[in-house]
Amino acid sequence: MNVLAFNGSARRKNWNTVTMLEHALEGARESGAETELINLYQLDFKGCSSCFACKRLDRKKTGVCAFKDDLQPILEKVREAHAIILGTPVYFGSETATTRAFLERLQFPYLNYKDYNNSHFPRHMPTGLMYTMNVTEEQQTVLGYESVFERTRNYLARIFGSCELVIANNTTQYTDYDKFEAAYEKNEKARYREAFFASDCQRAREMGARLVCGESA
């Protein structure tokens, strides 16, 4: 049983998204899975090229993206995975561009153009979706982010069978808030992180475990 996690942040060490993903994978390992973390920014790939090879009636295989780049072997791994988890920072109210490019390539081959409710992915695969962001929960609601998260969650659920959402708000962006532009006084973010980030990570860990145990909604 293997669980793949995809980091949609360029920051790979100790930062918010990757830390949440590492906790989710720890939860999966504690439940008996083998895990792998894949950093999307380290791969050379593009979004869907609209070639429609995956929609041709004479295609040899269903659900395969014809575009040959670094993502090809990764997408093959997804076909064999027990569960996948995707983590992304919020950039301008949405997933990072790299994450969106990945989502296009991941999902489009499995989208059944004849019957949107009947995915070409051959089985139920639980998925997890994680967002980290600068804004607070209250600001997130005012800005309407929930509808963006729900749209992406819903696509993943329709294509792979189910998708759970975990969110971390008010994340730390800089190590030293004295050195960069910010609307926060020096220790405000650090205090929030100290109080809440551990519980965000714990929710990620619990989700990782649920994805393995088949308890994921």
Residue ranges binding ligand FMN (CB under 6 A): 9, 11, 15-18, 89-93, 132-135, 171, 173
User: Would you say 76 or 150 has its CB closer to ligand FMN?
Assistant: 150
The Cα 166–Cα 144 span in angstroms is 17
Least Cβ distance, residue 161 to ligand FMN (angstroms): 27
Residue 136 · residue 195 · CB < 8 Å: no
Residue 110 or 145 with smaller CB distance to ligand FMN: 145
In the complex, minimum distance from the CB of residue 197 to ligand FMN, in angstroms, rounded to a whole number = 10
Nearer to ligand FMN, 108 or 145 (CB): 145
Minimum distance from residue 168 beta carbon to ligand FMN (Å): 7
- Considering the complex, state which of residue 21 and residue 65 has its C-beta at the smaller distance from ligand FMN: 21
Which residue type is seen at 149?
A: F
Q: How far is the CB of 43 from ligand FMN (least distance, A)?
A: 17
**Given the complex with ligand FMN, which of 90 and 209 has the nearer CB atom?**
90
Instruction: Annotate the chain with three-state secondary structure.
Output: CEEEEEECCCCCCCCHHHHHHHHHHHHHHHCCCEEEEEEHHHCCCCCCCCCCHHHCCCCCCCCCCCCCCCHHHHHHHHHHCCEEEEEEEEECCEECHHHHHHHHHHHHHHCCCCCCCCCCCCCCEEEEEEEECCCCHHHHHHCCHHHHHHHHHHHHHHHHEEEEEEEECCCCCCCCCCCCCCCCCCCHHHHHHHHHHHHHHHHHHHHHHHHHHCCCC
Q: How far is the CB of 129 from ligand FMN (least distance, A)?
A: 14
Nearest distance from residue 144's CB to ligand FMN, in Å? 11
Q: Which is nearer to ligand FMN, 88 or 119 (CB)?
A: 88
